[in-house]
Amino acid sequence: MSDLKNEKDVDSSSVASGTGTKYEFYDPSKESIWTRLGVNLESFKRAPGTTGGQVISGGNNVGDIEHVMADSPMLQQKMKPRHLQMIAVGGSIGTGLFVGSGSALRNGGPAGILIAWMIIGVMLINVTQALGEMSILYPVSGGFYTLAVRFLDPSFAFAMGWNYVFQWAVVLPLEITVAGTTVQYWGKDIMPLAGWITIFYLAIIIACIFGTLGYAEEEFWSSCLKLLVVVVFIFIGIVCIAGGGPEGGEYSSYVGGRNWSDPGAFANGFKGVCAVFVTAAFSFAGTELVGLAASETPNPRATMPAAVKGTFWRITIIYITSLTIIGLLLRYDEIRLLGGGSGADASPFVIALDKAKIKGLDHLVNVTICISVLSIGLSCVYAGSRTLTALAETGYAPKAFIYVDKSSRPLWSVLAILAFGPIAYANCASDGAGDVVFSWLLALSGLSTLFTWMSICMCHIRFRKAWVVQGHSVEELPYRALGGVYGSWLGVILIIVVLIAQFYIALWPIGGMSENPQEVAEGFFQAYLAFPIMIAFYVVGYAWKRTLPQRSYQIDLDTGRKSWLTVDEMREYRAERARAPLHVRIYRILFSN
């Protein structure tokens, strides 16, 4: 019992679908290393067997597909523990923190951004805990989308899945454009914006050639850089707040909390705090990717708990600490923040280092922003393509998207997401049309992450209910969410509060409502467009499949389940762990499984 391993033994050549049909498994280890890396022509060929697409696509075959795919996953398990942990800890650190926090400070003030990020952080801790519990027990292809099909309702899962795909598809050109404008921090005459967009778009395409491994390695090293830069900034910020900045800079004398007194802690009162919620949620977008990555990790039981617990430390150390320092160093009425830019010029990290007259570090931060943008662009392709493939597996997307090649790339799904990249060139238009296009793209993606997180919490609530109704004990679970089902309910409640706050801001924006009805309507839909789109997706999904949620006793709890230990075996396992030295137990509680 030293290791918690009790998975089903399955014949390596075939598996029954539940209807007597046999499906051949594909063993990628027999391929050459160049094919597995995805750098030769052979790697682009369809992988044979179930992985290659021998699934029953059609109307009501979700159960059959899950039975087949649970033991023969579409995607190879290439991710190592270090990849998963860094995806969880640093994967979503990007423009939301480095750049978006500037507009958040302008709208909410130093106290407003802390309140908003803390509330979103508490919500996210519960989301990741729930996701960890389910992903360890069911590391199925498609992650939380597949779990929503099973535990909630296929029609709702259809809406959530397509909403998630389009969220990442429209974020891709946004991130490519931000990368181009970030480079222009060093001079707009070096190269036209279209040139930089082309370079960054090609860089993402090249990284995608290496598939899962390319994404995982890029995320690991870029996350290391982002964490290093943020930690360095935190230490420098503390010194500057104490008055230890270089002579000639604005932080050569004690700063303390003077910016909380003048101009104040809140920029726009209660309305300002409400306005910051979506910015905070956007900065955490991508945290749920660990759920998608679970099926591409050899042993989720060993790696997922550490990844899930890493979310707490990221929120506490990276976000809360750095935002506290930003709020102490900068006034919310700082001129460069009021400019409302989207590139490095509007980054509070760059502005603070400029004010401190610390040479070179602003360039390091700008390089990090650039790499962060590329990292999130690659995450767009990874998350969007995996979800699109899962939609195709369950018959909710064209069958072509189940194509997976010998390097474990869902090839047509990857190409479908990459096809949205050229939209970035709209920003090169001289008549301002690009700004209009990107305003509506932001509207499409604004609330999408919240709907995904809500579905994860609702899945967990339904799973726990079915688990108990069908005679199981919570003690059987190999990993239990920290807050249990109450944590998921808290997550749902907080998400609803954020949606209400955004609705309030959409109707009564900061600065007052326009007297022009057209401007009022545009402002509302640019802030809340994702909600009616989600409803429209659900209506289409229900009209197409006519499915309703299953009762708790009807939910399938066995397909794809990787832990079959009894209560007594789990008690023995936990008793053995309880006998470990104190320092080992503390480390496990805080960081490990």
As beta bridge partners, residue 167 has: none
Average pLDDT over residues 156-164: 89
- Residue 352, amino acid: A
- Extract the runs of DSSP E, i.e. beta strands, from 39-128: none
Helix axes 100-137, 143-151, angle to 10 degrees: 60
Positive or negative CA dihedral for 501, 504, 509, 512? negative
Q: What percent of the chain has pLDDT over 70?
A: 78
What domains, with CATH codes, occur in the chain?
83-123+169-451+500-535 (1.20.1740.10)
Separation of alpha carbons 210 and 265, rounded Å: 47
What is the band of 462 on the pLDDT scale with cuts at 50, 70, 90? very high
In angstroms, the CA 130 to CA 559 distance is 19
**Measured CA distances, 152 to 160, 283, 456, 457 (Å):** 11, 27, 10, 11
For residue 23, give the H/E element and its range. strand 22-24
pLDDT higher than threshold 70 for residue 122? yes
Type of residue at 58: G
> Is the CB of residue 310 less than 8 Å from the CB of residue 88?
yes
Position 349 scores a pLDDT of 87
pLDDT score, position 340 = 56
pLDDT for 25 equals 54
Lowest mean pLDDT segment, chosen from 158-162, 200-204, 530-534: 530-534
- pLDDT per residue over 291-315, tens digit each? 666 666 666 676 777 777 777 777 7
Average of per-residue pLDDT across 113-141: 86
Give the distance, in angstroms, between the CA of residue 113 and the centroid of all CA atoms in the same chain: 20
The packing angle between helices 211-241 and 322-329, to 10°, is 40
Q: Can you give the pLDDT at residue 515?
A: 67
Is the pLDDT score of 75 beyond 60?
A: no
DSSP assignment of 248-278 equals TSTTSS--TTHHHHTT-S-SSHHHHHHHHHH
What pLDDT was estimated at residue 418?
93
Lowest mean pLDDT among 78-82, 93-97, 411-415: 78-82
* Pick from 141-150, 159-168, 431-440: least confident: 431-440
* Cα-based distances in Å from 304 to 86, 388, 404, 441: 11, 23, 25, 33
Distance CA 369, CA 386 (A): 26
Residue located via tokens 């997976």: 404
Q: How far is it, in rounded angstroms, from Cα 165 to Cα 160?
A: 9
pLDDT tens-place string over residues 502-539? 888 888 887 766 666 677 777 777 778 888 888 888 89
**pLDDT value at residue 31:** 65
Angle subtended by helix axes 100-137 and 300-313, to nearest 10:
150
Burial of 169 (0-12, 13-18, 19+ CB in 10 A): buried
Give yes or no for a cis peptide into 517 (omega within 30° of 0): no
Average confidence (pLDDT) over 445-465: 88
In the predicted model, what is the mean pLDDT of the chain?
A: 78
Residue 28 has φ and ψ, to the nearest 5°, of -70, -20
Which has more confidence, 453 or 408?
A: 453
Q: Which helix (H) or strand (E) holds 16?
A: strand 14-16
Least confident residue range of 214-218, 380-384, 493-497 = 214-218
The single residue listed with the structure tokens 């989301």 is 127
Q: Which of 133-137, 270-274, 317-321, 520-524 has the least mean pLDDT?
A: 520-524
pLDDT interval class at 10 (50, 70, 90): very low
Q: Which amino acid is at 54?
A: Q
Handedness of CA 104, 108, 113, 119 (dihedral sign): negative
- Please check the confidence at residue 50 and state whether its pLDDT lies above 60: no
Token output for 283: 């900065």
